[in-house]
Structure 1
Amino acid sequence: MSYGDDENGGFAVAGSFPKGFGYGPDDTETEQPADSPEDKPRILLMGLRRSGKSSIQKVVFHKVSPNETLFLESTNKIVKDDISNSSFVQFQVWDIPGQIDFFDPTFDSDMIFGGCGALIFVIDAQDDYIEALARLQMAVTRAYKINPNIKFEVFIHKVDGLSDDNKIETQRDIHQRSTDDLAEAGMETVHLSFHLTSIYDHSIFEAFSKVVQKLIPQLPTLENLLNILISNSGIEKAFLFDVMSKIYIATDSSPVDMQCYELCCDMIDVVMDMSSIYGARDDGAFDGNSSSIIKLNTNNVLYMREVNRHLALVCILREDSFDRQGLIDYNFMCFKKAIQQVFDVRKQVASTNNSDGRAAMATSHNLLHHNGSVEGAAS
């Protein structure tokens, strides 16, 4: 592992997400004012009381141990959590009390659902979920009429207490019942996404990753760049991580294997712990030269490189492919520059929808051209 400051003692910044989606520059390093909390994308956590909403929020975004969540009190009012202090992904998570009445005159549905990017409904898989499905149908119907652009996600939670067969059967039953309920309400066009989750493993982080990715407009471009990177570097799998939350904001098009994802998360934990203890700064953030190499007993290598102080690229590749580390490092620098170009162009030319696509194609072409040149030279 290596940790070192760059020449100026600062951090590399790889651009930003478009302001309209609440993804701003690294405000600790720029003098630009941060977006107000109300301007950021909003993710709602809904569900019945004791379904696990607050525990999910604490484990994913506040590094609380799953066992410590057993002592959390039930939520009695809307809790707004601004996820932007030490993270690249910038949005708000609203924890909505389970006992809330959508038809209560004091419940401002327009305000709550109007600025919502995603609605996550948490269902306790170890409890009788008939009442929860009724509340889900009520929440989706109400929210969709106010804001049809909301992404609806269902977390079938606490599945750590179920067998594999019971998990599949529970998911199938909830999927069928909720679909039928929405069809009866005339909401056939509404799409629900289902995730099996638990705070005692990495499933909750993967599920939240998929939710956050739907709020990132540059996701297809990032996936394309990752595909080009791995195809020209002998890499088997690559993730672009937000290191503080362990949410991956993009990965290549190959299927995600949970064991690989867990290894990458564990690697980030190790590096962040080392940085917080021995790093030159006390905020635990990456610096301009942060990297880590872990060789596994399966003849695979985990390789991590910083993209900026909050983003990291974590790759899995075979040990023989890592013999050409110089090529991989050069391709990574091309990838890092490409990300910066995509975000910069998105900021500069936000008035036209096609500009980002043209810039992405040009950036991808340049990355492929550079990589091809290096491979030709290396051969």
Structure 2
Amino acid sequence: DIWLCDMQQYEEFGGIGYETVEQSLAAEDGRARLMLLGAKRSGKTSIIRVVFQKMSPHETLFLDPTSSIGVTDISNNAFVQLKIVDFPGGYDFGDKKMTPELLFKRDGAIIFVIDQQDGQDDLTAVEHFLDVARLAHSVNPKLAIDVLIHKVEPEAEAYHDDVLERVRQIRQVIVEQLTEERLDINPTFHLTSIYDHTVFEAFSKIVQKRIPQMNQLEKLLSGLVINCRVEKAYVFDVISKIYIATDNSEMDNFYELCSDAIDVVIDVSRIYSGDQKKKEATPIPYDKKSRAVIKMENNYVLHLREVDNYLALVCFMKDDKRMNKGLLEYNFACFKKAVADIKARSKAPIRFKSHRGSNSNTVTSSRNMNSGTGQEASLKETKQR
């Protein structure tokens, strides 16, 4: 569900969405706002097209420079509700219609893109970032700020040390300047490229901060990990392939394998799905029956299960023949029910059955999950059962 909202795109797509960018930005639609700024040709529009519109990275070479503010509304599922704002390169905020209050007052994040390959303009990009950060902070001190040091390409190993040194200098100048001006701004830095998984991981971390239910999802995943001998678990948005939550274990990052597994499920479903009308009506062939079990050479098994509209639970487990498959499926069903309860803001506790014995751990999906009263009630209910 993508609405492109500048006037040229509005006419091109037959009037889908709002009539003007101002109307879209002023709308009380509850979407978290992600605003991409940076110098010309720094890669802002390419990032949006690759992450949210599934454009091939090589096709972005033919994109025209952004000449006006564009707004894209993302409604992939109940948790990924975003408004992506793409600013022209070097935007100076001189437009009287686009006031800083209109742009920065709402909940969201500024994503400032710096092209690390354009070494001559590093200082210009840093100055532009500082101007934007000062203005945004004066309007909304709670606004998150992320810096994408972009175009750190995977084939750059030959000059890896030079890249890291340039990245270190950019980061150092920004931090020193903010400290000198005593601005309470703590930007998060990400090294990204559209030619590998780094840009998806960066947006995963950015989007997670904008999801109110993220802590609840994280606790549910941690409960699943503890009770099912899972090594690592994620909840993925299948359309964009960003993960909106993961458990709190300090295991290796399996993002690339998860992304590949989602591609396999979608590709196989597209080939063998028999309903041609259903294929045309949905952006990707993914429904309640979508699932996969993939055995890997490193003695791990990947389990993928549909948990909600375009949401997937992806788990990594060691290949153990003693694993009780029925119990595993039961706990997957419990997790799916818990996600539905969070979606409906239900306060019903969800109980996972443990492989280590008959006792069950209770994970509640209420907003008061950390309160003492809620925990005591859950424990009592477990003992009674």
Q: TM-score, normalised by structure 1?
A: 0.79
CA offsets per residue over residues 249-281 of structure 1, 9 Å max, x none? 0001123634x2101001101111222333343
2:261 corresponds to 1:267: yes
Where structure 2 has 5 or more consecutive residues not aligned to the other structure, the ranges are 1-26, 349-364
Structure 1 partner of 2:53: 62
Q: Distance in 1 between matches of 2:270 and 2:85?
A: 29
2:147 corresponds to 1:136: no
Point out the more displaced range, 171-180 or 39-48: 171-180
For residue 301 of structure 2, give the secondary structure of its aligned residue in structure 1. strand
Structure 1 partner of 2:105: 114
Structure 2 partner of 1:315: 315
Structure 1 pair 355–262 and aligned structure 2 pair: CA distance change class (3 A): closer
Structure 1 pair 178–321 and aligned structure 2 pair: CA distance change class (3 A): farther
Structure 2 partner of 1:151: 144
Q: Distance in 2 between matches of 1:364 and 1:343?
A: 24
Structure 2 partner of 1:249: 244
The sequence identity of aligned pairs, in percent, is: 44
Q: Distance in 1 between matches of 2:291 and 2:376?
A: 24
For residue 313 of structure 2, give the secondary structure of its aligned residue in structure 1. strand
For residue 74 of structure 1, give the secondary structure of its aligned residue in structure 2. coil
Structure 1 pair 52–356 and aligned structure 2 pair: CA distance change class (3 A): same
Measured after TM superposition, the shift of residue 290 of structure 1 is 1.6
Measured after TM superposition, the shift of residue 216 of structure 1 is 1.1
Alpha carbons 1:271, 1:292 under 8 Å: kept: yes
For residue 239 of structure 1, give the secondary structure of its aligned residue in structure 2. strand
Measured after TM superposition, the shift of residue 156 of structure 1 is 0.6
Measured after TM superposition, the shift of residue 360 of structure 1 is 8.8
Bigger RCO (CA 8 Å, 6+ sep): 1
Q: Which of 110, 126, 135 is 2:117 aligned to?
A: 126
Measured after TM superposition, the shift of residue 106 of structure 1 is 5.3
Structure 1 pair 369–314 and aligned structure 2 pair: CA distance change class (3 A): farther
Where structure 1 has 5 or more consecutive residues not aligned to the other structure, the ranges are 1-35, 349-353, 374-379
For residue 356 of structure 1, give the secondary structure of its aligned residue in structure 2. coil
Structure 2 partner of 1:324: 324
Measured after TM superposition, the shift of residue 367 of structure 1 is 11
CA offsets per residue over residues 177-197 of structure 1, 9 Å max, x none? 10112223331x111000000
Structure 1 partner of 2:362: none
RMSD: 2.9
Structure 2 partner of 1:197: 192
1:154-303 mapped onto 2 (5 Å cutoff): 154-160=147-153, 162-163=156-157, 164-187=160-183, 189-255=184-250, 257-258=252-253, 260-279=254-273, 280=275, 281-282=278-279, 283=282, 284-303=284-303
How many residues in Structure 1 have an aligned counterpart in Structure 2? 330
Q: Which of 75, 78, 81 is 2:69 aligned to?
A: 78
Q: Distance in 1 between matches of 2:321 and 2:229?
A: 6
For residue 367 of structure 2, give the secondary structure of its aligned residue in structure 1. helix
Structure 1 pair 325–239 and aligned structure 2 pair: CA distance change class (3 A): same
Alpha carbons 2:37, 2:87 under 8 Å: kept: yes
Alpha carbons 1:87, 1:245 under 8 Å: kept: no
Q: TM-score, normalised by structure 2?
A: 0.78
